[in-house]
């Protein structure tokens, strides 16, 4: 009889041991799953954040800001760096400076853009309405690198995923900025003197497999006639441009025609407009 009791106790102990062992494995697995979920969630929130803020323009989007003839915008990009999760890098590029330092600096202040955080200035072309505010910024930041169009006879990557088209055009040399974003190419023009469609074709030549997500800036189409404007819009469609945010020297009629054609994908651009690309 004692022998039977002993066998029963042994079986019971073996059962308890097995149960505890299985439970431990299950707990370890759960902990591993939690970690991997966290990693996925972290990497999701660590995607690139890109904002384009119009700081100088003759059109107004924010009533608290001053308008003036010219154009300037700030490109702010926040992206994860390195292998370690949680490390983010912020980059600020000022494209053009408008016609006037006082207006530029006052608008920047109201938009909470601190000149000390600017990494470099990209100048599309040397017209007064794009370089007029340059001295004002350089007084505060004399160390800033200014990329003028003559520095880039050809296309070039300036920082990771940010390119210049290089100087285009015959009479007025102008460069445009191309940003490779998670949504596709973002093309920003100052005045588009070389022709807006030529600039887009240049971008397509540089990146044949990328789609054009957004075209922003001055299109220089103020005096263009209706049939030409219709043909430009049809070229935009052929090039599969998804969104348009024209301002500055694009012309009132051009803006109206683009708005009609693009509907929800037309962005009413002017000083104070913040376009978030996430
Ligand atoms: Zn110009
Ligand atoms: Zn201009």
Which of 127, 124, 144 is CA-nearest to residue 136? 144
259 CA distance to ligand 2 centroid (A)? 21
Q: How many CA atoms lie within 13 A of 122 on its CB side?
A: 29
Which residue matches tokens 């990693």?
39
> Among 2-16, 59-73, 196-210, where is mean pLDDT lowest?
2-16
127 CA distance to ligand 2 centroid (A)? 7
207 CA distance to ligand 1 centroid (A)? 26
The ligand placed nearest to the CA atom of residue 70 is 2
Q: How many CA atoms lie within 13 A of 91 on its CB side?
A: 18
Distance of CA 215 to the CA centre of its chain: 11
Mean pLDDT of 17-45: 41
104 CA distance to ligand 1 centroid (A)? 17
Provide the Cα torsion 185, 158, 190, 193; round to 10°.
Answer: -90
Paired tokens of 196: 């807006």
Mean pLDDT of 12-31: 49
Q: Are 266 and 258 in contact (CB under 8 A)?
A: yes
SS3 state of residue 215:
strand
217 CA distance to ligand 1 centroid (A)? 12
266 CA distance to ligand 2 centroid (A)? 21
Paired tokens of 211: 């789609």
175 CA distance to ligand 1 centroid (A)? 11
Neighbours of ion ligand 1 (CB under 5 A): 127, 191
56 CA distance to ligand 2 centroid (A)? 11
| pTM exceeds 0.75 | yes
Burial class (CB in 10 A: 0-12, 13-18, 19+), 81: exposed
Q: Are 243 and 214 in contact (CB under 8 A)?
A: yes
pLDDT in tens, 104-143: 999 999 999 999 999 999 999 999 999 999 999 999 999 9
- Cβ neighbours of residue 105 closer than 8 Å, sequence gap 6 or more: 115, 133, 136, 137, 140
pLDDT in tens, 244-274: 999 999 999 999 999 999 999 999 999 999 9
Q: Are 138 and 69 in contact (CB under 8 A)?
A: no
SS3 state of residue 89:
strand
207 CA distance to ligand 2 centroid (A)? 26
Predicted pLDDT of residue 28: 40
Q: What's the maximum distance between 2 C-alpha atoms anywhere in the chain? A: 110
Cα 5 to Cα 13, 15, 122: the distances in Å are 12, 15, 88
The ligand placed nearest to the CA atom of residue 125 is 1
19 CA distance to ligand 1 centroid (A)? 78
Predicted pLDDT of residue 107: 98
Distance CA 233, CA 266 (A): 12
Q: How many CA atoms lie within 13 A of 189 on its CB side?
A: 30
Predicted pLDDT of residue 171: 92
The ligand placed nearest to the CA atom of residue 217 is 2
Residue 102: in which H helix or E strand, if any? helix 101-110
Which of 66, 45, 42 is CA-nearest to residue 54? 66
């Amino acid at each position: 009889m004692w022998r039977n009791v002993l066998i029963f106790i042994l079986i019971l102990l073996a059962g308890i041991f097995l149960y505890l062992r299985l439970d431990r494995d299950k707990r370890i697995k759960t902990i591993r799953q939690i970690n991997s979920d966290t990693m996925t969630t972290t990497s999701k929130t660590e995607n690139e954040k890109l904002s384009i803020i119009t700081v100088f323009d003759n059109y107004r989007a924010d009533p608290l800001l001053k308008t003036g003839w010219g154009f300037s915008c700030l490109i702010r990009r926040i992206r994860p760096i390195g292998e370690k999760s949680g490390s983010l890098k912020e980059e600020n590029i000022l494209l053009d400076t408008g016609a006037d330092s006082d207006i530029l600096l006052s608008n920047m202040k109201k938009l909470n853009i601190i000149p000390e955080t600017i990494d470099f200035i990209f100048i599309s072309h040397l017209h007064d309405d794009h370089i007029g505010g340059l001295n004002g910024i350089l007084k505060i930041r004399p160390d800033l690198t200014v990329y003028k169009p003559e520095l880039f006879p050809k296309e070039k990557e300036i920082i990771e995923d940010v390119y210049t088209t290089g100087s285009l055009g015959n009479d007025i040399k102008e460069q445009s900025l191309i940003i490779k974003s998670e949504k596709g190419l973002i093309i920003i023009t100052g005045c588009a003197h070389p022709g807006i469609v030529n600039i887009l074709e240049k971008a397509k030549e540089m990146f044949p497999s990328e789609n054009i997500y957004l075209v922003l800036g001055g299109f220089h189409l103020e005096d263009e006639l209706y049939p030409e404007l219709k043909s430009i819009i049809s070229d935009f469609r052929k090039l599969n441009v998804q969104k348009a945010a024209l301002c500055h020297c694009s012309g009132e009629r051009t803006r109206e025609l683009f708005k009609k054609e693009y509907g929800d994908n037309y962005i009413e651009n002017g000083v104070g407009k913040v376009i978030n690309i996430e």
